[in-house]
Structure 1
Amino acid sequence: MSRVLNAIVAVCPNMGIGNNGNLPWHPIRLSNEFKHFRKMTSTPSAEGKQNVVIMGRKTWFSIPEKNRPLSGRINIVLSRELKEAPPGAHHLASDFSSALRLLDTAEMADTADQVWVIGGSSLYKFDCDTFLPEISMDKYRLLSGVAGVAEGMQEEHGVQYSFEVYES
């Protein structure tokens, strides 16, 4: 089955996505950035279904225990080390291909809507463990006026950021 995959990642200016298991700007909490993440990953396009979030083991354990699983979403954790889904996770897959096959099962076909890849770095095929690879932007088109996505520069606690949505 052909399926659209969405990726959502917050990066600092040098494309860093993490530092010591936290977001690069930790301990600053960017509540609008967090609200955007939650809205994008938990709002299904089909009534009666839930979005899926796929994350690596380190990303799963970087989420505070009280916030696991990410509510209102089907949580799939990828790990070659774990033998069973960690407490709270809905599914465990040994690799990304296995997670995609899981989405094609009858159970998931009835419940799963949009699929969001939320990290960590190995899911984005990084050579290192905390940076995005160079992206060939000629393969993507920047969308503007996307419903529910704030435009322009945002600022919280002295940290500036913007939301961008691309389509391939």
Structure 2
Amino acid sequence: MNIILLDKQQHDRQRFDCKNQVLNQYLNQIASQQAQKDNARTYVLMDPINPAWIMGFYTLTMTSLDLSSLPQSLQKKHASVHSAGLIARLAVDHRYQKQGFGAILLLDALHRLYQASAIVAFPLVLVDAKDGIAEFYQQYGFQALSQYPNKLFMTMKDVAHNIST
């Protein structure tokens, strides 16, 4: 599987349809702009037969961390931390859904965030799960933040475990 940075010249963003208009619009209209501004990076899983076709994508960035929403043990451990890695979006084109590509994208995103954490040190990864999708992330070990049920987290220790298995 080839997962690379989105290239608006190379990838057919208009063809992508995950059946969620907000995510489709982000990929089509905003992802490249965010990359140019150094606000976020979007990675795409390319179709092996037609590399211009996007099978799925995810977007990575940093986010501020609300320590009060973490479990007490993590609040104390990370009292001086104010940011975390963020998987801001993750989607699979409807033609490729239910084939394990979401898991491939998630594990690749976790791997990249783990590598970044080794360089700039942040202790957590957060995910903004769309309605009804939190269960997908929970099966990989993400836990819901107490005040935000659709915002989930994973410690870098757990990320390391996930990408090594």
TM score, norm. by length of structure 2: 0.29
Structure 1 or 2: more strand by fraction:
2
TM-score (norm: length of structure 1): 0.28
Higher helix fraction (1 or 2): 2
Query: Relative CO higher for 1 or 2, CA cutoff 8 Å, sep ≥ 6?
Result: 1
